[in-house]
Every structure is written in structure tokens, then in C-alpha cells.
Chain A
Amino acid sequence: MARARRLVPECGPIRGPSPPPSGTLVSRPRTLFDKIWDRHAITETAAGDTLLYVDRCYIHEGVRHAFDRMQMNGESVRCPSQVFAFSDHYAPTHQRHLGAAASNDPAIRGMLELADANANRYGIRHYGLDDPNQGILHVVPPELGITQPGLLIVGADSHTSTHGALGALAFGLGASETRHVMTTQTLWQRRPRNLRITVNGQLPFGCTGKDLVLAIIARIGAGGGVGYAIEYAGEGVRSLSMEGRMTVCNMSIEAGARAGMMAPDDTTFDYVRGKPHAPRGDDWDAAVAFWRELPSDPDARFDHEVFIAAAEVAPMVTWGTSPEHACSIDDRVPDPAAADSARQRADHEVALEYMDLKPGQRLTDVPIDRVFIGSCTNGRIEDLRAAARVAERGRARITAWVVPGSMEVKRQAEAEGLHRVFEAAGFEWRAPGCSLCTAINGDEIAPGERCASTSNRNFQGRQGKGGRTHLVSPSMAAAAAIAGRLADVRELGGNG
């Protein structure tokens, strides 16, 4: 079991070596990160603070704290056309024809209504409950072509790193920084260090981007990426689909890194081409020519490097309450007595007590009560296809939900007949939203219930107070639904 390892000494949040003055011609080889950062640097102070220009800002209902403050101060949104709002966190995932009224909780309805009101007040495009493109803020912008390579994107959500999969620099903000971006279209940041994670070879049978990123987090730890922007590279990354790449970048923050990114390539361009907001005609050619210049220069220097052998990755599952508490499905629950340090031992003991697991227990013997397939990590079409391929081999023994990441994913899945596959196998086919990943829209698991979930956080109570979460890939989640316990998807013959 990998020990959470600090890669740099601590001295603050975003730090790093003194960068060259921005805005000047720089001859040294640069990383993908450097190229986007430099292009967006308006000015830099002597103390090393860079004022960055923000191309896109993605928000959701929870941004109410930023709007409350703006209203108090009488501030307006500087560039409404560069802010995109989504109703996802509080979106009901059943009876959606009722709109916000589908929720019987007045506080939840209030948040949805407030999101509508704030978007109207500030002139922001809002993908609300009744919008044909409603969905999660990290699923919709890529599928509409709003997210593009080379952009600097921020979001009022820690999983904004997702958009880095398209070769953008994207990171999450709290409410104060979101307010700063909405009112000035800029953000003060200190340059983070560059960490490259190179994945050599291709992932084996049964493994997906989710298994890869869980393996990476287990290796470097939940704090291993603090202070870094991660670039994922190597054949194991290039061979992933856009959906798989987004899953990997999505969970960068679970290793502590605010941003995760990947070089744009033909897979990226093929994905973006033809999307409603994608460049067209001459614009397209100019954009692609620019995008092709973005990948890190061959001799660019990274502050730290990690190498992963893809062949050694197996289908992963978390056993504890931090994403770093992850191991392969054919492992056993670790024994805290074997931990690297007293602190790790204490941490593992608390986690196992909360999860009600015994050291040495086979993970495939762990019974499961609920299954959740969805979220900004794994709610895209490829994820649903992978889960459906497993679902059609059996029947769910337990309550299993499939929640598409967006209306577009839902339409596409239905056009492919995936909803019928799920329903025939006893899975519930629901409406798009964050649902059981963040458990704030009324969807939650009961105290003591154990859920195999394709989401991103297995924190205590994340899916409902007292609930227990095991993070897995979509096909592993479907396998768990059929087996009624954690199961090795490779034994069911399903591929990732």
C-alpha cells in the first residue's frame, strides 16, 4: 500500500521556482502548462503573483455564496458570455417533468430557483433543469465544444481539472475566487510546479481510466500532488478515449493537484470537431494549427516525474475513506499493523472501523447494498456502454442506479438502447445530475449502507451520513450489482 508521500516541502499552496517574466519571448523549452499559463499572464508582481486572464468560468447552484457577496457589494459580472451556469448538484434525478418541484425539500427547490434567478439577474447562460443540454458542469462543456484546448478555464468546483483532458489549463476555485473571476475575468495565482506522470504501455483487459487514476492516487497519495499541475503522458494516456482521459484528469484533485492535463492530439481534435461551440471553417484550421503547438516541448523540464507501468494496473477498488485507500480487486483489506508508520496505522484503523472491514478480508467477499453509476468522473457515454456490457450478463441483486452525466449522454444512451439493457437487468435509469456522488439533491444512501460507486470521493458520509463508499469503474460497479458484492469484472468476462 502506497504511503501518502509529500513530493515537495510545504511552504504554501501554489508555489514553485521563479518563472521567467511572462509576456516576454521565452526560448527555454516549455511544458503544456507553461504555454497556456504564459499566454494568459496579464502581469506579474515582483513577489511572483500572476494576474491571469480567464477564458471560461463554469459555475453551479452552490455559487450562491459568491453571488450573495456580489449583491452585497453591488458588483456585476464583467463578461457574462464567458460564464456558464449549470444546475447539477441539486438536480432531482427522478420525475424531472416536474422541474424543481420533483424535489419535496423546499431548501433544494430554493437552491434551484436561486440558480435560475442569479443567472437571469447577471445575464449568464444557464443550463437549467428544463434545458435540453442540462447536465453536470464537467460533462456538458466538453460535449458542447465550450471546453477547447489551450483555454484557461476555472470552475467553482474542485473537479474542474476534468477539462484539462482536452489540453486546457483548468482548475477549481472556492466562492471568493469565483467572485473575483466573475467580477474581473481574472485571477491572481502563483505558478504551481509541474509534475509529469508518464504511463508506459497500455492498460490490461478489464482496466479503464478510473483504475489507472486510482492506481496513481494509491501510489502518490491524497496529498502527493499538492502544489503541482499534473501532466499525464505516455502511451497509456494517449491510448485512452476522450472519456477515459476526462476520468483521469477529473480525479487529479484527489491526489491534491488543482490541475491535471493532457497534450491535445488527434483524439482530442476528433472529439471537439463538429460540436455546437467548436470552431468552424477557417476558424477550425487556425485553431488546430494553434492546438498542435501546445504539447510540451520534447526537452521541457518537469519539477518531478512519476512513472507508471500500465501493465501492472488491475481493476481497482477503495477499501477506506480516502481515495488513496485503493488497491486491486484481487487484494485483501490491508492490515494496519503492516502500515509504514504509526500515523498511517492510526489512519488505516480509523478508516477500517468506519468502513466496517477486517484486515485480511478478501475484497471480493465484501457485500454491497447499493450501486451508483454516474458523476462527473464516470457519467459519460463510454462509461454507460461499459456498464451496460456487464449488466446484460446478469441481473442486479441490489438497488443499482444509472444516472447519465447530461441530457446529451441520456439521449445518446437511449438511442443506443442502453437504458433497455439496464432496465432489463433491474438497474434504475434516472435523469442527469450529480446525484449520489455528492448526495445533496435528496439522493443519498442510508447510514451503514455500502455503495459501489463510480464517483470520485469515498470520504466519510460523502454519499449520506454514515454511508460507506467503495470507488470503482463503471464495469466494476455493474459487476458488483450483479454479484451483490464487490466483484472482479474480469471474471465476468466484461471489458472496461
Chain B
Amino acid sequence: MEPFTTLRAIAAPIDITNLDTNQLCPTRFNKIPLTDPDYQRILFNNQRYRNDGTLTDFILNQPPYRDARVLVGDDNFGCGSSRESAVYALVAFGIRAVVAPGFGDIFFSNCTKNGLLPVVVENDVCARWRAALHEAPGLELYVDLEALCVTGPDGETHTFSVHPTIRERMLAGLDDVGITREFDDQIAAFEQTHQASMPWAFRSSG
């Protein structure tokens, strides 16, 4: 995946509490392969497009927000379905970081596997930043994964925490499978003992 170090970019506010991944990627698009050249259209499709295919005035359709590479969201961002297509759609649109007070667990994990940094910043800061971004469209956010800090449109800098392993893997753009391969022998040994300790669960039957 693409490494993430620092990002300075236009930010867009998304004022939706409990934003579910069905909104980020409506289910009918789950079958679209990632190779689709216009994958970005999937993002918020129900909100961004009318039935005739024309654009609505949804915030990500308005300049300068449509050039946003950071979103500032509300609590429980990305709850619901485990569909990773919600993350693919964000990335295809150009989003590389989402700042929110909290994230759905599976969505958070999916983000970190695709070079999209989820940044947890407390509720009232996010609310202030969303308001500032509405007031003065085009303001930027600065996210630094190396230094673990984020500077908002008001110039205020806040630190954030990310699990050290996630940070290390995202900074280097490492793929988990490659790392796990180094444990192959340990996995094989564990597997043998484990399966022998509960043999009933591994006999083929039925």
C-alpha cells in the first residue's frame, strides 16, 4: 500500500453521526472491481448523484471541497457493514485521512490496510473544525503520522495516538501478509499442537 507520512490538504466537513459504510459505498457497488477507472463515483453515490446521473449540491461536489483529501467527520464514523469498498471509494476519490471522534472498528482496520489514516480527535475539536471548514471553504488540515499530530483549520495542533504497529506499517506502506510470512514456522508448529488439542474440530465429516 501507499505509505503515509504527512499530508497537507483541503479538508471537507461531514456532519453525520454514526455514518454507516452503506452511505460511503451503497451496496449495489460492492460488485464493482477495483480496476474500474471511475471507482470514485461510488463514494456517497446516493447523496452525490441524482437518478439521472447529474451531480447534487452534496458538499463533496462543491468546489473547493471536491478537491479535499481529508474529511472531518463525527462520532462512530464508518459503522455498520465490513465492506472494504467503502475505504476503496474514499481512496479513489482522493481521501487519505479521516479525522473523527470515533470510528467503527472494522472500518478503522480496513482504512489502515489501504493507506488511509484514521485520526481520532476529540468531539468538540472535530465540531469546531467542521464549523470552521463550513465557514471558510478550502481551508487545509495538516496530518503528521511521524510526529503524531494534526493541525486544524484554526491553526490549533493536537496530538493523536495510533497503535505503534499501525503507525510503523503505514509509514512504510508494509503489507501484513509479508510480515506474517516471517512467522511461518511458528504458525505451523502452533497449528499442529492446537489441532491435536481439539481434534474433533478438524476432522472432516458431514
Contacts and interface: CB of A to CB of B under 8 A. Distances in A.
A185 B108 contact: no
Contacts of A12: 108, 120, 161-163, 166
B106 A172 contact: yes
Contact of A465 (B46, B81, B127): B46
A177 B109 CA distance: 9
B26 interface: yes
A254 B162 CA distance: 24
B34 interface: yes
Given A65-B84, A284-B200, A13 B108 contact: yes
A75 B177 contact: yes
A158 B186 contact: no
B34 A10 contact: no
Contacts of A462: 22, 27
A280 to B, nearest CB: 8
A457 interface: yes
Contacts of A6: 75, 101-102
A43 B186 contact: yes
B22 A4 contact: no
Interface residues of A, number: 92
B113 interface: yes
A200 B17 CA distance: 31
A172 B18 contact: no
Contacts of A268: none
B83 interface: yes
Given A158-B81, A186-B187, A459-B20, A177 B203 contact: no
A290 interface: yes
Contacts of A145: 206
Contact of B177 (A40, A180, A284): A180
Given A45-B165, A223-B76, A253-B80, A10 B102 contact: yes
A10 B101 contact: yes
Given A179-B177, A186-B187, A459 B206 contact: no
A172 B83 CA distance: 10
B164 interface: yes
Contacts of A474: none
Nearest to B102: A10
Interface stretch (A94-102, A104-112, A421-429): A104-112
B176 A176 contact: yes
Interface-centre pick from A12, A53, A179, A226 (highest chain B CB count, 10 A)? A12
A258 B105 contact: yes
A82 B103 CA distance: 31
B206 A180 contact: no
Interface in B139-188: 161-166, 176-177, 180-181, 183, 186-187
Contacts of B186: 42-43, 51
Nearest to A79: B191
B18 A222 contact: yes
A148 B200 CA distance: 10
A185 B187 contact: yes
A144 interface: yes
A322 interface: yes
Contacts of B31: 62, 64, 90, 107-108, 110-111, 440
Interface in A335-376: 343-344, 346-347, 350
B2 to A, nearest CB: 14
A183 B84 contact: no
A459 B22 contact: yes
A283 interface: yes
Contacts of A415: none
A233 interface: no
A115 to B, nearest CB: 11
Interface in B1-41: 15-18, 20, 22-23, 26-28, 30-31, 33-34
B194 A40 contact: yes
B204 interface: yes
A260 interface: no
B201 interface: yes
A308 interface: no
Contact of A185 (B191, B198, B200): B191
Interface stretch (A149-157, A396-404, A484-492): A149-157
B205 A42 contact: no
A459 B80 contact: yes
Contacts of B74: 343
A276 interface: yes
Contacts of B191: 53, 185
A81 B84 contact: no
A176 B114 CA distance: 8
A290 B22 contact: no
Contacts of A254: 80
Contacts of B16: 350
Contact of A276 (B108, B176, B177, B205): B205
Interface-centre pick from B83, B88, B177 (highest chain A CB count, 10 A)? B177
Contacts of B79: 222-223, 256
Contacts of A240: none
Interface of B: 15-18, 20, 22-23, 26-28, 30-31, 33-34, 46, 74-76, 79-85, 87-88, 101-110, 113-114, 120, 122, 127, 161-166, 176-177, 180-181, 183, 186-187, 190-191, 194, 198-206
Closest 8 CB pairs of A and B: A276-B206, A223-B76, A279-B200, A176-B113, A174-B84, A174-B110, A13-B108, A283-B200
Interface of A: 4, 6, 10-15, 39-40, 42-43, 45, 47-49, 51, 53, 55, 62, 64-65, 68, 73, 75, 81-82, 89-90, 107-108, 110-111, 144-146, 148, 150-151, 156-158, 172-177, 179-180, 183-186, 188, 190, 192, 222-223, 226-227, 253-254, 256-258, 275-277, 279-280, 283-284, 286-287, 290, 322, 324, 343-344, 346-347, 350, 438-440, 457, 459-462, 465
21 contacts: A10-B122, A11-B120, A12-B166, A13-B108, A42-B187, A51-B183, A62-B30, A62-B31, A65-B88, A150-B198, A172-B82, A174-B109, A177-B109, A177-B113, A180-B177, A223-B18, A277-B206, A286-B200, A324-B18, A347-B18, A459-B23
Given A45-B165, A53-B190, A253-B80, 4 more contacts: A10-B103, A47-B163, A188-B176, A253-B106
